[in-house]
Amino acid sequence: MSRFRVAITDHVFPSLDMEFEKLNEIGAEVFLCKDTQPQGLVSELKDVDAILNCYVQLNKTVIDSLAKCKIIARYGIGVNNVDVKAASDNNIIVTNVPDYCISEVSDHALGLIIALARKIIQVNQNAKSGFWSFESSRPIFRLAGKTLGLVGFGNIARSLAKKANAIDLKVIFFDPYFKGGLEGHPGLDKCATLDELLAQSDFVSVHTPLTEETSGMIGLAQMKIMKPNACLVNTSRGGIINEGDLLVALRDSVIAGAALDVLANENQVESSPLINLENIILTPHCGFYSEESTEELRVKALNEVISVLTGGKPRYQVNRA
C-alpha cells in the first residue's frame, strides 16, 4: 500500500517520467488529474497528500475539499491561480519556484525590446515577401541612451537591468515594495510613482506578479502618460495590462508598439483583436522556457513535495505566516 497519494493537476512537459520516478522512491502513488474543472477536481483530489500544479485554477471550493493535503507545489513563480488564503486556512503549505528561468525571461524581454526598437519582425516579413527595403519601417531610433523603465524590481527585472546597462540603456524602476539597496546596479534610479516611470521611459517592461492590486494597473490613462514613440513589453502575467485599452493605444498611435509574451486569456488567442495589429509582437508564453530551466523547475517543485511528505521543511514556502 502506498504511503502517499500525489496528484499532478496539469503540466506542459513531454512526459512525467521524472515525477513518477522520484515520487515512487518515497512510496508515493502518483496520478495525473483527468478533469481540470472545480467539480471534477474536488472528486479527484479529496484524499491526496500533495498536489503538483501548473496552470489549473485551484480555488477555495477545491482547496476547502482537501481532507489531508499537506502541500500544493506550483510549477512556476506566480501563484495567482492558487487561492493561497484558502490554503493557509486549511493548514496547507503553498510553494513556488521563484529563482528559476531568471536568465531566460530577462533574455526574452531584452530580445523583445530589441525587436521592437529595430522593427526586426516587420523587416523580416518584408524581406521574405520580396520587399527588400526598410523604408516602410521608418522611423528606427538608436537604442543607446534610451530609457528602460521596469515595473517591479524582482529577480528577473534585476537581471534585465544588468543586460540593458550592457547595451547602454539607462534603467529606472518603480516598485513600492522594494526596500533594499542598489549595490551592483550603478546608475539605476528608483521612481517614486508609476506615472513618473511611464513619463520618462522609452521602453516599459512589466515584471510584477498578478494580484488584486496589479490587475489592470496599466490602462489607457497610463499609456497616455507614455511617450508617443514608447513601447510596452510584458513577460510577467496577462491581466496586468488592460488589453482593450492597449488595442486602442496601438491603433490610435498613443504609443508606438508593444510586445507580449502573456495574455489575459491564453486559451482564446485567435479571438483577440491584438493579433491583427502590425505594431505588436506576440509570443506564446515561452519566455520561461529552455531545456535547462524546465529541468530546474521540475526538480525544485518535486523536492518541495518530497521534503514536506518526508517530514522536512520546504525551501520556497509562499504562505509562511
User: Could you give the strand order of the β-sheet that contains 93-95, starting from the edge strand earlier in sequence?
Assistant: 28-32, 4-8, 50-53, 71-74, 93-95
Burial, 163: exposed, middle or buried (Cβ in 10 Å; 0-12, 13-18, 19+)?
Answer: middle
Dihedral sign (CA 56, 316, 286, 262): positive
Q: Bin 239: left if φ > 0, else alpha if -120 < ψ < 50, else beta.
A: left
**Of the candidates 156, 227, 226, which has an alpha carbon nearest to the alpha carbon of residue 195?**
226
How open is the CA angle 242-247-251, to the nearest 5 degrees?
150
Establish whether 266 is a catalytic residue.
Answer: yes
- 285 given a catalytic annotation: yes
Residue from 167, 185, 189 nearest 113 by CA: 167
Cell representation of residue 50: 500533495
Q: Please identify which of the residues 237, 243, 298, 304 carries the catalytic annotation.
A: 237
Distances (CA, A) of 217 to 168, 194, 214, 262, 304: 28, 9, 5, 15, 33
Distance CA 217, CA 225 (A): 13
CA-based nearest residue to 314, from 303, 75, 7: 303
- Residue 312 has which C-alpha cell? 522536512
Say which of 266, 278, 292, 295 is annotated catalytic: 266
Q: Would you name the residues annotated as active-site residues? A: 237, 266, 285
